[in-house]
Structure 1
């Protein structure tokens, strides 16, 4: 793979990760922080994909799949928890 393309990918992923970390630190609500952490997991998965494409191997594929599944399950779990919590709050009113 072209080194310039790899450098651009790494640079864009770094900027995205820094912005997501900023949202984790600043996020006013729990859901903002969870979404930012999900974005960070996606950035790590994409970074591993770029590394696998650059080195032309598929040995990191199981790690990529597991990370994607953990990110998905975590996001769904928090979304279900938040929806139950907001339904309970509506019932109190």
Structure 2
């Protein structure tokens, strides 16, 4: 059973690393927004994995808080974002 926990931890760390690369190298703000949402989702998966591993359900309240904050943040950024200058062809 320990192999399952180690493999899930390694996969979550790999997913977070790939997401951070996309966050740092994203050509537009929407790419970075998707990367931040993905990073929050990976974090939520990590918290859920920790809750299953430790059999401690007190950390699950943070899952609801992260989901709400992530949703509100994504909607507000998508609503009020300024278009990127690099993608314009009207120079």
Give the TM bin, normalised by the shorter chain.
Answer: 0.7 to 0.9
Please list the CA deviations of residues 23-79 of structure 1 after superposition, one character each: whole Å capped at 9, or x if unmatched.
Answer: 011000011011101111111111000000011121001111101111111111112
Residue ranges of structure 2 left out of the alignment (5+ in a row):
84-91
Residue ranges of structure 1 left out of the alignment (5+ in a row):
87-93
Name the counterpart of 2:21: 22
- Give the Cα separation in 2 of the matches to 1:46 and 1:39: 10
- Give the Cα separation in 1 of the matches to 2:59 and 2:40: 15
- Greater than 6 Å deviation, 4+ residue runs: none
Give the structure-2-normalised TM-score.
0.85
Give the structure-1-normalised TM-score.
0.83
Name the counterpart of 2:79: 80
How well do the aligned residues superpose, as a CA RMSD in angstroms? 1.2
Tell whether 2:6 aligns with 1:7: yes
Q: As a proportion of its length, which structure holds more helix?
A: 1
